[in-house]
Amino acid sequence: MARFHTHLSEEDKKKRDHDNIKIREENKKKTEEELVDMRRRQQEYIEKLRSIIPKEKWNERLIRRFITKADIRGEKDCWNWLAGKNSDGYGNFKICNKEELSHRVSYIIHNESIPERLNILHQCNNRKCINPKHLFLGTHQDNMKDMVNKNRSYNCGHRGEDNSCSKLTWKKVKEIREEYIKCKTTQNILSKKYNVSKGMIYYILKNINWYDEEYQKLLISKIRND
Ligand SMILES: [Zn+2]
């Protein structure tokens, strides 16, 4: 990870002290056993990353500093950021003398760089979460739509067939997912075929709208096999 050069300035030290206070506060909520277990999970994950990340990109200090600030758990669980957060509730992590959002750093560590003009969005809607399996790329518009969708779903409790504006049914959603997974089609073609926006197709394929537990398992197993 050669692009993350780290050297400790006075400001860095202040930030480190602030983070340590935050982490200590979070840790006070845990029992001694939970703490030992969390440290074990962090250590195991650092070792796992060491075996995945190419040697020339490995930055031991940075990875260790990053991972030990998060509560690393199972693939399906949220990995909450324990250190400092910004006013929007996103985790902060200092890198190259610059405050970066911790979920963005997580994405970079696990997926190389972030394409220009794209945001990193949370599938789990938990801003503290840095689990790479819960993060996905989207445009600023996606981000806005995502917020609207999540709010709408929160307000009326429906995000599928029950929504009276919906042109889709569960049967059609299943077809869309199957066709796409079998690589028979593209998101563009699906959008035209089912007469819904490309954004909607994207949300269906990402399991954000029309959430389906079985489909989620399939998505996770696909990520694992990639
Ligand atoms: Zn999450």
The alpha carbon dihedral of 40, 41, 42, 46 has a sign of positive
Cα torsion at 20, 74, 128, 142 (round to 10°)? Answer: 150
pLDDT of the residue at 8: 67
Residue 103 Cα to ligand 1 middle (Å): 10
Residue 122 Cα to ligand 1 middle (Å): 7
Is residue 38 over pLDDT 90? yes
Residue 189 Cα to ligand 1 middle (Å): 31
pLDDT of the residue at 81: 96
To which residue do tokens 């003398």 refer?
A: 97
Residue 75 Cα to ligand 1 middle (Å): 9
Within a 13 Å sphere around the CA of 208, how many CA atoms are in the beta-carbon half?
26
Hey, which residues does 70 pair with through a beta bridge? 81
Distance CA 135, CA 197 (A): 22
* Cβ contact 191:201 at 8 Å: yes
pLDDT of the residue at 70: 97
Is residue 11 over pLDDT 90? no
pLDDT of the residue at 1: 44
Distance CA 111, CA 154 (A): 31
Question: How far is the CA of 86 from the CAs of 15, 41, 130, in angstroms?
Answer: 13, 26, 15
Mean pLDDT of 30-54: 94
Residue 195 Cα to ligand 1 middle (Å): 31
22: nearest Cα among 85, 79, 112: 85
pLDDT digits (tens, 9 = 90+) for 149-188: 655 443 333 455 544 446 788 889 999 999 888 877 888 8
Question: What is the residue type of 216?
Answer: Q
Is residue 98 over pLDDT 90? no
pLDDT of the residue at 155: 34
Share the mean pLDDT of the chain: 82
Distance CA 223, CA 226 (A): 5
- Helix or strand or coil: residue 51? helix
pLDDT of the residue at 160: 56
Residue 7 Cα to ligand 1 middle (Å): 30
**Higher pLDDT, residue 173 or 12:** 173
Residue 80 Cα to ligand 1 middle (Å): 8
Residue 76 Cα to ligand 1 middle (Å): 8
Model-wide pTM > 0.75: no
pLDDT digits (tens, 9 = 90+) for 112-144: 777 777 889 998 889 999 999 999 888 766 666
Residue 106 Cα to ligand 1 middle (Å): 12
